[in-house]
Amino acid sequence: MKNILACIIICYSAISQANAADTEQLTQESRAAVMALGSELKTTLQASIKANGIIESISVCNIKAPQISQKISDEHGMAVGRRSLKYRNPKNKPDDWEKSVLEQFEQRKANGEAVSTLEFSELTELNGKKLFRYMKAIPTDDVCLNCHGDNVAHPFVSKINSLYTDDKAIGFKKGDIRGAFSVIRPVN
């Protein structure tokens, strides 16, 4: 009986270590994907602001961001996007898992963690399929406040309202959690 119990403990330990290694690898790959998405979104937005001004660049988030997300998803072999508790685009509304993680991020921030360090990953299951899920918080920066701050100027509001009918993404302050990058990846 002791031999069987010892074998079970050793096997469980080996499986746990393998799962931890797999999770770390998936986390690293997810970090790379969200870094690529964040970088390309920022570069595209900055180039548009320089060429067209801030008001005209609002459409970058409406039109270009989904295209960039799809491109990065295809390149990295995982679904990569953005989610927020206060979303502007209904396609960025979090599912239950993402909402829970975003709420955990808010609590962790309230407990003193820096927004730039907030991330979470885990292996989950949905409809009998194993999934790896990852989220990385997006801090609100100065450029975000033009369209997402407390006092968004009227020309911005008019443009935003023309693109989004049920905008919830206002009232942010610098350093708030604007949302998070979200990754979903099927695993065997």
Asked whether the beta carbons of 89 and 59 are under 8 A apart, the reply is no
**pLDDT in the model for residue 16:** 39
Per DSSP, the chain holds a count of helices (H) and strands (E) of: 6, 4
- Rounded Cα distance, 148 and 137, in Å: 16
Q: How many domains does one find in the chain?
A: 1
Q: What is the CA radius of gyration of the chain?
A: 20
Between 127 and 137, where is the model more confident? 137
- Rounded Cα distance, 45 and 62, in Å: 11
- Residues of the domain holding 62: 2-186
Token code pair at residue 127: 């409809």
- Measure the CA angle with vertex 138, ends 135 and 139; round to 5°: 145
- Rounded Cα distance, 57 and 111, in Å: 35
pLDDT, one tens digit per residue, over 149-185 is 888 888 888 888 888 888 888 889 999 999 999 999 9
pLDDT, one tens digit per residue, over 53-95 is 888 888 888 889 999 999 999 999 999 999 999 998 888 999 9
State the average pLDDT for the chain: 87
**pLDDT in the model for residue 107:** 98
**pLDDT in the model for residue 15:** 38
| C-alpha to C-alpha distances, 70 to 12, 31, 79, 96, 129, nearest whole angstrom | 38, 16, 8, 22, 22
**pLDDT in the model for residue 135:** 98
* 177-186 and 129-139 strand pairing: antiparallel
